[in-house]
Chain A
Amino acid sequence: MLIDPNYAAKHSPTGELIQHPLFVVQVAFYCIENGSGSWIRSPGARNPGQKIELFEPFKAGETISMTVSPFDKWIRRGKHYITDKLDFYNQYGVHKATWWLTLILPPNRSAMLHFARL
């Protein structure tokens, strides 16, 4: 039901493919590749945990847009955290999902450059 349109047509309650709950990941990386940058691709960044809220499933044929907003940043036990809020909308402006994307970043520019130059 996640990948086979013919199977989904027979067995899915909507008759359509069903979105895997983490499909927002693919959408986010695609959007970032084609739009403004973010910290998400930073070499040396670490993933401490993520929160994803899904309001309405994506549907095949929709055009999804994503906005990225700085949400929070903090230092805890010497680690530098940052959270961006990623919001996903379809072509009609329907809010489909929000991903609070948190990363632990290298602590400063030189540390970031260190990883980038390796």
Chain B
Amino acid sequence: MADITFSRVNIGDELPEIAHVVSQEVIDRYAVASLDYNPVHTNIEWCERARVFGTPKTVGHGMFTMSLMASVVLRAWGAAAPRIRCIEAKFTKPVEVGSRLRCFGRVKELHPIGPGRNFVVVELQAVDSTDAIVGVASAQVALPD
């Protein structure tokens, strides 16, 4: 939806879900892309010994989960028109390798500040294969008038 505008958005609008399986290959690719090679993500043997999160498995990057939550907005409204100007996320549960993440969003607030300054707040959520919440986020999204 490249022609999204502030006037077309309503409180309660739901943004389509996106899903991604967090395999070790996905984790490794994200580590390369982000330059975050922390062993808790990439070193299987180290994780078996360290159990940083209590699990012997590697876990996905929190920033990957956050990125996927942000992508809910981009996929729903396009990458060009909306501009995420602030995003704040909390991670509530580690994402073990092999989990299938599902992320979705809902418009929570409209801010009709004025032409060129209008924005909405989108509540975002990520759940794992067991439907447990692994992350929540709030994004301020500036939209064309």
Residues of A within 8 A of B (CB): 1-2, 11-13, 18, 20-22, 25-26, 29-30, 33, 40-55, 57, 115, 118
Contacts and interface: CB of A to CB of B under 8 A. Distances in A.
A20 B83 CA distance: 10
A51 B34 CA distance: 17
A21 B84 contact: yes
- Interface on chain B toward A: helix, strand, loop, or mixed SS? mixed
Interface in B39-80: 39-40, 46, 49-50, 52-53, 61-63, 66-67, 70, 74, 79-80
Nearest to B35: A29
A1 B77 CA distance: 13
A43 B40 contact: yes
17 contacts: A1-B80, A20-B67, A21-B70, A41-B36, A41-B37, A43-B46, A44-B52, A46-B52, A47-B61, A47-B62, A47-B63, A49-B62, A51-B86, A52-B88, A53-B86, A57-B83, A115-B52
Q: Which of A21, A22, A33 has the most CB of B within 10 A?
A: A21
Contacts of A21: 70, 74, 84, 87, 139
A94 to B, nearest CB: 15
B89 A118 contact: no
Contacts of A55: 85
Contacts of B36: 25, 29, 40-41
Nearest to A114: B50
Given A22-B67, A53-B85, A118-B46, A48 B34 contact: no
Contact of A30 (B35, B40, B53, B83): B35
Interface of B: 2, 33-40, 46, 49-50, 52-53, 61-63, 66-67, 70, 74, 79-81, 83-91, 139
Contact of A11 (B34, B39, B80, B90): B80
Given A21-B70, A29-B34, A52 B91 contact: no
* 4 residue pairs, one from A and one from B, having the closest CB atoms: A47-B62, A29-B35, A49-B90, A21-B84
Contacts of B74: 2, 20-21
A25 B63 contact: yes
